Amino acid sequence: MPDQADRNGHRKAAVQRDLQGAYGGGRGGRRRNRRQHGQGQRARHGPAHQQQRIRFHPSGPIADGLLTALPGVSSVIAFVIAVLALQGMPTVLVNYRERGILRRLATTPAGPVRVLGAQVGVNLAVALTTTAGILAIGRLAFGVALPRHLLGFLAALVLLTSAMLAIGLLVTALAPTGRSASTIGAILFFLMMFFAGLWIPRALMTHPLRQISDYTPPGAGVRAIQDSVFAGGPSLSALAVLAVYAVTCAVLAARFFRWQ
């Protein structure tokens, strides 16, 4: 019996030591556990772990080319052009018509046609200047790649701007009031920006949705700009889509435009 009691006492002592080792054994044990936990955290976040994080988040000058493939730059260019063509110009011209400015200009040597031409020219110049600023800031601040095919990039940019301005002129021709022109322009703006990949990047769109985007002015323009930056030049199909929109909308705008 004494031997059995001694064995039971040894077992209880062993169990108590195991419990103290597992649950801290009082304040001193909790301190040891906290120190061990802190050492484990430092080991996990040490130099080796930081090197792994650096591979996924390069801090050097575009080490892995991550920032050189920013599709958002072309979407920002399309955004600026759409703001000018769909929200700025139609509202101004329709207000000119409502206030009788276009009708009065018809009796002057300037004429309303020159006023429209001046509006289109100013918006085209602003779009080109803003695009140059976007590319300069993207290159200097984020290392975004410049267009490899400069002539193709300029052709895509001019055709995209012309197509969007032609759509803006068509809105101007059809909208009866400045408020309706602003509303129609806003609806078209958000729709165009969706197909330009501003809300959802074109690379993440489904194949049917991307095909639809390729046949819209901003979608074809973004595609042509990206091909000019990362490929040998814009595809002829994208440029053709932009040219068709520019010519068709310009002809319709001239047909339905009202001076008063």
In a domain, 152, yes or no: yes
Tell me the per-residue pLDDT of 111-144, one tens digit each, with 9 for 90 and over: 667 777 888 889 889 998 998 898 888 888 877 7
In a domain, 62, yes or no: no
* The residue to which tokens 């729709």 are assigned: 191
In a domain, 66, yes or no: no
- Over range 246-253, report the average pLDDT: 91
In a domain, 67, yes or no: no
| pLDDT the model gives residue 120 | 85
In a domain, 7, yes or no: yes
| pLDDT the model gives residue 220 | 93
- Over range 2-10, report the average pLDDT: 54
Q: Within 10 Å of residue 166's Cβ, how many Cβ atoms?
A: 24
In a domain, 113, yes or no: yes
Tell me the per-residue pLDDT of 196-216, one tens digit each, with 9 for 90 and over: 888 888 888 899 999 999 999
| pLDDT the model gives residue 83 | 92
| 151 shares a domain with 30 | no
| 247 shares a domain with 174 | yes
Instruction: State the pTM of this model.
Output: 0.69
| 213 shares a domain with 84 | yes
* The residue to which tokens 């489904």 are assigned: 206
In a domain, 213, yes or no: yes
Asked if residues 77 and 226 have their Cβ atoms less than 8 Å apart, the reply is no
- Over range 227-232, report the average pLDDT: 81
The pair of structure tokens assigned to 35 is: 């120190």
| 250 shares a domain with 194 | yes
Q: Within 10 Å of residue 212's Cβ, how many Cβ atoms?
A: 13
| 182 shares a domain with 105 | yes
Q: What torsion do the CA atoms of 21, 24, 27, 31 make, to the nearest 10 degrees?
A: 100
Asked if residues 97 and 259 have their Cβ atoms less than 8 Å apart, the reply is yes
Mean pLDDT, the chain, integer:
76
Does residue 30 carry a pLDDT above 70?
A: no
| 98 shares a domain with 50 | no
Residue finishing a domain among 26, 56, 86 = 56
Confidence category of residue 243, pLDDT binned at 50, 70, 90: very high
| 225 shares a domain with 180 | yes
Does residue 239 carry a pLDDT above 90?
A: yes
In a domain, 10, yes or no: yes
Tell me the per-residue pLDDT of 173-192, one tens digit each, with 9 for 90 and over: 899 888 899 999 999 999 99
Containing structural domain, residue 196: 72-256
| 99 shares a domain with 22 | no
- Over range 229-240, report the average pLDDT: 87
Number of domains comprising the chain:
2
| 76 shares a domain with 52 | no
The pair of structure tokens assigned to 10 is: 């040894």
Distance, CA of 155 to CA of 95 (rounded, Å): 32
| 86 shares a domain with 37 | no
| 239 shares a domain with 111 | yes
| 96 shares a domain with 139 | yes
Distance, CA of 64 to CA of 66 (rounded, Å): 5
